[in-house]
Amino acid sequence: MAVKIENISGDRSRMVRNTELSAANTPITLSTGPGGAPFRLDKVAVKYSANTTVDITVTLDSGAGAAWDTLLRTISLVVAQNGIWIPDEELLFSGDDALIVVAPAGGGGVTAAISIYIEERGG
């Protein structure tokens, strides 16, 4: 179950954090929406409960259709627990776009937690 926590950060935009926690040795997928408002990606953070070696993917699910869906980043963990992606450039998305983060199972009794931080922009 995804938890959405909002913090007001101005009268025309707001920071939103989407989170999800996996069961042990279970892959996990978290999506931002679409929420209807244009948004900027701030960061993606993933934490496993123990060291693991996995590739986490961050993909654009384009509101324009499947032909525009794009792998934006692969976060590679090699015998590590934590991964974060902070884009080097400002990444703006349309209100009908969504971001999808997929974290594979970490093995054994390992759980994974994903957080996607976005800034929704008002009209």
CB 120 within 8 A of CB 13: yes
- Look up the CATH number of the domain holding residue 72: 2.60.120
Residue 4: predicted pLDDT: 52
What pLDDT is attached to residue 8?
45
What pLDDT was estimated at residue 9? Answer: 55
Domain of 100, in residue numbers: 3-121
pTM for the structure as a whole: 0.89
The pLDDT tens digits along the chain (123 residues) read 455 555 545 556 788 899 999 999 999 999 997 777 899 999 999 999 999 999 999 999 999 999 999 999 999 999 999 999 999 999 999 999 999 999 999 999 999 999 999 998 875
CA–CA gap between residue 39 and residue 35 (Å, rounded): 9
Model pLDDT, residue 96:
94
Domains held by the chain: number: 1
pLDDT score for 97: 95
